[in-house]
Structure 1
Amino acid sequence: MSVSRILLAFGLVAAMGACAPQPQPSQSLPDDQIAAQVYRHDGPPSLTLYTMVNNSNGSGAHTSLMVNASQRVIFDPAGSFRHPRIATKNDVVYGVTPVMEDTYTRFHARETFHVIVQQVEVSPEVAEEVLRRILVAGPVPRAQCALSTSSLLRDVPGLDGAIRTTWFPNQLADQFGSLPGATTQRLYEYDDADRFKALESFDPDRVKASRAAQDADKAE
């Protein structure tokens, strides 16, 4: 085997490890329960790419995509953001209110990982097309988070072919960041490395009250 093939094999192994969270119980809900959780955000149509990055070596650990269209959802392929109080079906997280979005990013950002948050405003037609593709994507096999997300975006009309398919979260982040008007932020948290401890006690009402109290303190 050539050196280049050996390096490629190691790279694919790393990518497969990146989107291979510990197994979680299925949270696939009936359609009527999903419909009850639909949330429509009043912000502009947009796409938000999340890339979870290992703080030790800089490798990409996970990719997910939020779309704000006729409803706001997160495509969390082979992800681990699952809880009985979170409406999910086929790797799609529904009801992404500001509180839910905040919880999602803070769930992934911790002592060992940070989150790159990249957002780009798009036309309503582009947002709706991406939403349609997400809703029919179906559950994604482990290790294919970046591949499934990049494949979904690759030929979306209006993105001008800027996204190419890739197995690697960091490569997808680089491509997404080159879209016209894209913004990039990095979220660092230093909570316990075990993110599931926070998710076990997830309570949207409690989180909302806590955030409101923090905002009030800052305003004083």
Structure 2
Amino acid sequence: MLRRVLIALALPLFLAACGADNKWASDEAVRTARYVSEEQPSISLMTVIGLNRGEGGHSALLINGSQRVIFDPAGSFVHPRAPERHDVLYGITPAMRNVYIDYHARDLPGERYYVTVDTVPVSRETADIAIRAAEGNGPVNKAFCAVGTSKVLSATPGFQGAPGGFSPIRLRSWFLTLPGVRTEEYRDNDPRLVHGDLLKMNDGSLHAYDR
């Protein structure tokens, strides 16, 4: 009982960038958006990290297999050319990947985050297993992004040791021990990114649109 109380009290402190969604794009939208990359199949852990205290703000996966998708558990990112089904974003072209990263790499009052992208090369078969695990996971509750990310990784060959729990930082620390991992870091106004316009909607959510 005490453990449940402590978890309940701690949850508001975790994952400021995480949201909740239960979206289901149409078959036509997903089919039209499908993007196949010529890059080597891979699985990338994307971690949003606070600039001030180094706290974990969000965890997500960029998966490049028979198509490239982002598993964005409990994420708040929305784009008209990235249809979403239960936290899986389709149509992840190079530009869309950059818009997604740019959306999370913020240096605003009260919202100061940078993004790390840690990539491990895998076989096409392994990447597709990860995509199917993400598609079969279902929507993730608010503040459970690291939990959902770990669950998908744990269902993927070579990633079964992913630690559970609510900490994106702990999950990233484990991911960095994997063989062949390559790391990139992005901050606000990074010239490598396609900078998106963030439009605040009536419900307070932020929607990203590339210029």
Aligned to 1:130: 130
Residue 123 of structure 2 is aligned to residue 116 of structure 1: no
Asked whether 1:44 is paired with 2:29, we answer no
Cross-structure match for 1:186: 185
Partner residue of 1:102 out of 94, 98, 105: 98
8 Å contact from structure 1 (residues 66, 72) kept in 2:
yes
Give the one of 188, 195, 198 matched to 1:196: 198
Please give the alpha-carbon distance, in whole angstroms, between the structure 1 residues aligned to 2:169 and 2:122.
22
Residues 1-220 of structure 1 correspond to what in structure 2 (within 5 A)?
Answer: 11-15=10-14, 17-21=15-19, 27-111=23-107, 112-159=112-159, 161-189=160-188, 196-197=198-199, 200=207, 202-203=209-210, 206=211
Specify whether residues 201 and 115 from structure 1 end up closer, same or farther in structure 2 by C-alpha distance, changes over 3 A only: closer
Task: Identify if the C-alpha distance between structure 1 residues 196 and 123 changes in structure 2 by more than 3 Å, giving closer, same or farther.
Answer: same
More moved, 117-126 vs 96-105: 117-126
Tell me which structure has the larger Cα radius of gyration. 1
**Paired residue secondary structure (1:196):** strand
8 Å CA contact 2:106–2:114 kept in 1: the answer is yes
**Residues 175 and 88 of structure 1, relative CA distance in 2, 3 Å threshold:** same
Is contact 1:48–1:120 with CA below 8 Å preserved after alignment? Answer: yes
Deviation at 1:135, TM superposition (A): 1.3
Secondary structure of the residue aligned to 2:57 is: strand
Moved more, 68-77 or 78-87: 78-87
Deviation at 1:85, TM superposition (A): 3.5
Indicate the SS of the match to 1:77.
Answer: coil
The offset of 1:185, in angstroms, is 1.9
User: 1:54: how far off?
Assistant: 1.1
Q: 8 Å contact 2:99–2:208 — kept in the other structure?
A: no
What is the rounded CA distance, in whole Å, between the counterparts of 2:16 and 2:75 in structure 1? 11
Conserved? CA contact 1:63–1:77, under 8 Å? yes
Q: Is the 8 A contact 1:18 1:61 kept in 2?
A: yes
Paired position in structure 1 for 2:193: none
Higher-helix-fraction structure: 1
Q: Would you tell me which structure has more strand in proportion to its own residues?
A: 2
Q: Please give the alpha-carbon distance, in whole angstroms, between the structure 2 residues aligned to 1:102 and 1:116.
A: 12
CA distance in 2, matches of 1:201, 1:178: 33
Secondary structure of the equivalent of 2:74? coil
Using the TM superposition, give the Cα deviation of residue 32 of structure 1 relative to its aligned residue in structure 2, in angstroms: 1.8
2: CA distance between counterparts of 1:48 and 1:129?
14
Q: What amino acid maps onto 2:69 in structure 1?
A: V
Number of aligned pairs? 197
Q: SS at the partner of 2:199?
A: helix
Q: TM-score, normalised by structure 2?
A: 0.82
Deviations 1:68-107 (A, max 9, x none): 0001000001101113333111111100000000111011
Distance, in Å, in 1 between the alignment partners of 2:189 and 2:42 is 29
Give the TM-score, by structure 1 length: 0.79
